[in-house]
Amino acid sequence: MAVSSRRSGMSGMLTALAHPVRILPATFVLGSVAGTLLLLLPGMRTDGQQGGAVLPAAFTSVSAVTVTGLSTVDVSSYWTPLGQVVILVLVQVGGFGFVTLATILGVVVGGRIGLRSRLATQMDLHLVNLGEVIPLVRRILVTMLGFEAVVAVVLTFGFESRHDEGWGEAIWHGIFYSVMAFNNAGFALAPDSLVQYVGDAALILPISIAVFVGAVGFPVLAELSRRWRRPDRWSIHTKLTVWGSFLLLGAGTVLFGVVEWSNPATMGGQSFGEKLVTSFEGGIMPRSGGFNSIDYGEARSETTLITTIMMFIGGGSASTAGGIKITTFLLLGYVILAEVRGDPDVTIGSRRIGVSTLRQALTVALLAVMLVVTSTLALLVVAEVSLDEALFEATSAFATAGLSMGVTGDLPPAGQAVLMFLMLIGRVGTVATASALALRARPRRFHLPEERPIIG
């Protein structure tokens, strides 16, 4: 009886762990562990030593798998070319999503996948209809690799012709930055990110455009490929994501340019054209790109606050970007608008938004606020950083943005652990994480009497 009971208990545990809602966070954790072990192998570090540097390897692995780009070491000098290749592969796999990648391999090899894999992929890509999984996965594969290849070619010619790099080095830099840009991971092959290329439109603009496209989200890209000429037939999700992305891009570019235009420590010494390029980059990168051509440690307080807000909002759902997502942010705006108007329903265009969707948006936003505030407080306790620096780093980690005010590498192990936790939570998603911890729904057979507490 005891043996049978233990077997049934283990079977139930494995069944629970195999549930699609728990597969998603588990894959990112296992991927981070695997990446850490790979980076601890001989030949990965430039000092030639093996082991003894678990924390840098773990932090880099988590940052790569979650396509964040934060790093406690200089990627260009700490890791060998082989180690940099491992980081690139981890970013590419993290950008696909481990579940989505497994689905792609299943389709390519066997031509079909099981229902459990479809459900897990459906959750990873935030799809409504299960039948959309296979067609969308195929389009993701073609879109991602095709776009990265085009950007890599453009960047290769830019590195070779404008920065006196040999073809071998230029090709490697083109591929590396292309993958990092489309996957919204801010790893760079220089200690100062893109500062040495500041104002160079031939490099900054392709990287910025790749970041913008990658942050839109695969479902939106798939719909635009079919209906880009018919905005009136776009779904509400696509409309919110596209117009919201351009709105935030415009607002971020203008605000960044206005605030930093005359700052001698950032843009003050640049030419007019270089300032326009830097402002455009500054309007895109906080949305999860992670690259920077100015030192955010020297930026004005207004810029760091604007950047923090942009990072918190993030990019599109089911994209490589983080944050609470544009749709969540705009839905809450429509909730406020409906309440101010006294409308009984929240409507966007000719569609009414369901209560469950609004509850989910509110849950995501409030959980995000709670995580960022709590983590900011934790960083203030364990590290010698200012409030601005702690809030900036915590938001960047949660939003998988990858921007830093230069204090990430100076954080103690406890502070780095806080950021690693935030990166994993931010990549998986607050709702998916909460659902993985509290899987069972509680159906009610009755409704309690309604009472309205005083608000405000």
Q: Which residues pair with 79 in a beta bridge?
A: 45
User: CB count, 10 Å around CB of 433?
Assistant: 20
**Contact predicate 210/122, CB 8 Å:** no
Give the C-alpha distances (Å, rounded to integers) separating 367 from 97, 283, 305, 319.
22, 26, 20, 20
Say which residues have a Cβ less than 8 Å from residue 27's Cβ, sequence separation at least 6.
Answer: 97, 98, 99, 102
- Tokens coding 377: 């407080």
Q: Would you state the pLDDT for residue 179?
A: 94
Q: What is the pLDDT of residue 381?
A: 96
Determine the pLDDT at residue 51.
Answer: 54
H/E segment holding residue 347: strand 347-348
β-pair partners for 347: 352
**Spans in the chain with pLDDT lower than 70:** 1-22, 48-52, 98-136, 430-444
The reported pLDDT for the residue numbered 290 is 87
Backbone angles phi, psi at 389, to 5 degrees: -65, -45
What does the pLDDT read at residue 359?
A: 85
- Give CA–CA dist 94/35, Å, rounded: 11
Q: If DSSP codes are grouped into helix, strand and coil, which group holds residue 183? A: coil
CB 40 within 8 A of CB 33: no
Write the DSSP symbol of residue 281.
Answer: H
CA dihedral 335, 341, 344, 348 (to 10 degrees): -50
Half-sphere exposure for 88 (CA within 13 Å, toward CB): 19
**pLDDT tens per residue, range 267-322:** 988 999 999 999 999 999 998 888 998 999 899 999 999 999 999 999 888 778 88
How far is Cα 184 from Cα 179, in angstroms, rounded to an integer?
A: 8
Cβ atoms of residues 308 and 398 within 8 Å? no
Longest pairwise C-alpha distance within the chain: 80
Could you read off the pLDDT of 386-433 as tens digits, one per residue?
999 999 999 999 999 999 998 998 999 999 999 999 999 988 876 565
